[in-house]
Amino acid sequence: MEATRIQIAALWTVVMYNIAFAHIIGFIHTGTLQQIMQGSLGLTVTPGLLLLFSVLPQVPIA
């Protein structure tokens, strides 16, 4: 039971970190999401690149 509580707490920490990270990036670089959706970011956004960008912010918490 204790292991489950620790896992839930760790997952909640990751979720909160991701939300804060997304808001900070959104405040600093307004319009980035629209550029990604339009494909005018300056580079080709592939599923592999999106995976890489989603994993990299998790490294400091691991």
Q: What is the pLDDT of residue 61?
A: 64
To the question of pTM greater than 0.75 for the whole model, the response is no
How many Å apart are CA 15 and CA 8, to the nearest integer?
10
Q: Per the structure, how many domains does the chain have?
A: 1
Q: Cβ distance 57 to 17 under 8 Å? A: yes
What does 36-59 look like in DSSP terms, one character per residue?
HHHT-SSS---HHHHHHHHHGGGG
Spans of the chain below 50 pLDDT: none
Q: Residue 50 is part of which domain span?
A: 2-61
